């Protein structure tokens, strides 16, 4: 509540409703004098920050140490003590990816480098680190995808779909054909993309590959955002017999789960970074062990939130993770084709 002087007029400046007391019962705006001094603005800023911090740390404590509890509390209507899930997700994911993209980069060899201090010196993390292992696996997967695209293009050429080596050559071949023999708009669009991607791959341009990898890595926040409603639907199907849970309830659970995973990843990166600075292998071991903690956390969250037996929870946990992986790969393929086609010269 503000310390500003209350207005004598009992008409809300925001919605024009009659006011009984200090706050409008329609829109909730406080009925205070609209003109504020500088110190009033400073006071508002401090109050908002401390209020946010208080809610944030209470929410974070219950989120990390009581899996599934926060989602259950939200469904029961106990929400005033905690940050709204979407607000906290936006804040947490922004902080996570800001830190990730600021300090974690890919070098020419595909390994991870972390900028340190004002001098921007670089620490090269070994292959045994969790972060570098994830990046290395991502690179290996992308190489397989590139090979698949190349094979798809070669297969298409053998079938007579398009023998063009460049987009310009394909357009010329299409222009030379009679109107009724030309590819339709969808086939033309997809073929142009495949021809362009194949041309860049065959050119052996390492800059194209590096730029493609970086664009894909920076698309991860978008992929995660798209993944969220899809796996909420997946949970809806897995727990379709639990009529008390609506789609939005599963979405709230997934939002809280994503927030927790982001926080655990941040802890993992912090431990790995500290281990690199100090040379203590125990810290790097703890960083890698965070993967196990995340898996256990997800199981406990599902068990506590949906209140099913261990066996049912484990079975649904395995099905959920397997299908989620397939969905993420599918989304990744779409982003890959879109990103690769945007890099066509």
CA distance linking residue 16 with residue 130, whole number of Å = 58
The token pair at 195 is 């021809």
CA distance linking residue 329 with residue 227, whole number of Å = 10
By the 8 A CB rule, do 182 and 174 touch? Answer: yes
Range with the poorest average pLDDT among 10-14, 106-110, 260-264: 106-110
The token pair at 219 is 């698309």
Q: What are the extents of the domains in the chain?
A: 85-342
The closest of 285, 292, 259 to 271, measured between CA atoms, is: 285
By the 8 A CB rule, do 274 and 283 touch? Answer: yes
pLDDT digits (tens, 9 = 90+) for 206-223: 666 677 777 777 888 899
The arrangement of strands across the sheet holding 104-106 comes to: 104-106, 112-116, 121-124
Give the angle subtended at the CA of 333 by the CAs of 330 and 338, to the nearest 5°. Answer: 130
Backbone angles phi, psi at 2, to 5 degrees: -75, 155
The closest of 115, 111, 105 to 132, measured between CA atoms, is: 111
Whether the full predicted model's pTM is greater than 0.95, yes or no, is no
Residue 27, beta-bridge partner list: none
The token pair at 236 is 């809806």
pLDDT digits (tens, 9 = 90+) for 219-261: 888 999 999 999 999 999 999 999 899 999 999 999 999 999 9
Task: Determine which helix (DSSP H) or strand (DSSP E) holds 73, and give its type and residue range.
Answer: helix 69-75
pLDDT digits (tens, 9 = 90+) for 272-308: 888 888 888 888 899 889 999 999 999 999 999 999 9
By the 8 A CB rule, do 56 and 263 touch? Answer: no
Residue that has been written with the tokens 């508002």 in this structure: 44
């Amino acid at each position: 509540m503000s310390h500003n002087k209350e207005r004598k007029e009992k008409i809300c400046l925001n919605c024009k409703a009659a006011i009984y007391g200090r706050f409008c019962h329609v829109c909730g705006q406080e009925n205070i004098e609209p003109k504020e001094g500088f110190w009033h603005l400073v006071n508002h800023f401090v109050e908002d920050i401390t209020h946010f911090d208080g809610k944030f740390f209470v929410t974070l404590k219950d989120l990390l140490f009581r899996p599934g509890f926060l989602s259950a509390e939200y469904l029961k209507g106990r929400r005033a003590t905690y940050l709204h899930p979407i607000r906290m997700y936006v804040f947490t994911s922004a902080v996570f990816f800001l830190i990730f993209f600021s300090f974690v980069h890919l070098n020419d060899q595909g390994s991870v480098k972390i900028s340190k201090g004002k001098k921007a010196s670089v620490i090269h993390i070994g292959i045994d680190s969790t972060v570098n292992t994830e990046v290395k696996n991502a690179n290996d997967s992308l190489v397989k995808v590139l090979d698949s695209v190349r094979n798809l293009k070669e297969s298409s050429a053998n079938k007579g779909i398009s023998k063009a080596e460049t987009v310009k050559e394909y357009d010329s071949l299409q222009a030379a054909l009679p109107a009724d023999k030309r590819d339709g708009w969808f086939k033309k669009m997809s073929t142009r993309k495949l021809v362009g991607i194949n041309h860049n791959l065959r050119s052996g341009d390492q800059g194209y590959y590096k730029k493609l990898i970086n664009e894909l890595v920076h698309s991860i926040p978008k992929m995660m955002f798209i993944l969220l409603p899809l796996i909420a639907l997946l949970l809806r199907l897995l727990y379709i017999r639990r009529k008390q849970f609506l789609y939005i309830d599963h979405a709230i659970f997934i939002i809280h789960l994503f927030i927790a995973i982001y926080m655990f990843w941040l802890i993992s990166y912090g431990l790995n970074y500290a281990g690199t600075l100090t040379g203590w292998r125990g810290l790097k071991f703890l960083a890698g062990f965070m993967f196990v903690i995340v898996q256990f956390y997800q199981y406990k969250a599902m068990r506590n939130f949906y209140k099913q037996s261990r066996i049912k929870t484990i079975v649904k946990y395995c099905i959920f993770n397997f299908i989620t992986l397939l969905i993420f790969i599918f989304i990744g393929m779409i982003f890959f084709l879109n990103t690769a086609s945007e890099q066509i010269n």
